[in-house]
Amino acid sequence: MWQRFPRPRLRTYLDAPVTAHRLAWGLSALLAIGVSAATAFYLGYDRALRSVGASAADVAAMRADGKRLQQSVAEVQKALAVMQQERDMAQETARKMQQDAVGQMDELSALREQLVTYQRMLGAQGANGGLTVENLHFSPRGPGVYGFRLLLTQVGQNAGNTSGTVTVRVLGAGSAQPVAVVKDFRFQYFQAVSGELTLPKGFVPQSVEVALQATSPKPVRVQKRFKWEVGS
């Protein structure tokens, strides 16, 4: 009878099992497939670019141009931010200059009032001019709202401190009720009195009556009327 012997395993020239040989062939096949796929993709990509009139070099150039454009946009945005900051600083400077100008105008107005007072005192030459209202000025502050400033003076020999109240009454047309504001005063030679009043809707001002009522050192009443005029 024939006796069966185990079939010997085939070996490669490297004396490796057949399974390892198959694995090597499989990896080689996969590598070849990968190279073929990459080549096909490149050829297809290049053909697609050529179909629209562009090559890989053109795409690279366009990408470089895109980067340069992005850098240019960033630089423009940075320059715009600097310009906006400079504009804000210029606006703030202009606002401060405007405030300074308003303060200087107020100071100039006060100096003019003092000059008028000194001129009056020098022109009195010792005569007793008494308590009076030198001038009155109105300025707009809003719809129907006006600020006022008036100068009170007292000229005379041995003039002492005088105190009391001043009433500013705006008289309207027809039977309209006057609008009045009362302020206190106390001074020796002159004092600027300022305040604010609001006229009702439809009120048409025509004149202003200013009444001084001194209570010290002795009761004195002085009244003066002005034409309604509004400055800037």
Pick the closest to residue 117 from 165, 76, 64, 156 (CA basis): 156
Largest CA distance in the chain: 168
> Is the separation of the CB atoms in 194 and 174 below 8 Å?
no
* Cα angle value 165/102/207 (rounded, 5°): 40
pLDDT at 198: 95
How far apart are alpha carbons 108 and 223 in whole angstroms?
27
Q: Strand, coil or helix: what is 186?
A: strand
pTM here is 0.49
Q: Strand, coil or helix: what is 152?
A: strand
How far apart are alpha carbons 165 and 181 in whole angstroms?
10
**Mean pLDDT per 10-residue run, the chain (232 residues)?**
49 48 55 53 57 68 81 86 88 82 72 67 56 91 94 76 95 86 93 94 94 93 95 77
How far apart are alpha carbons 135 and 141 in whole angstroms?
20
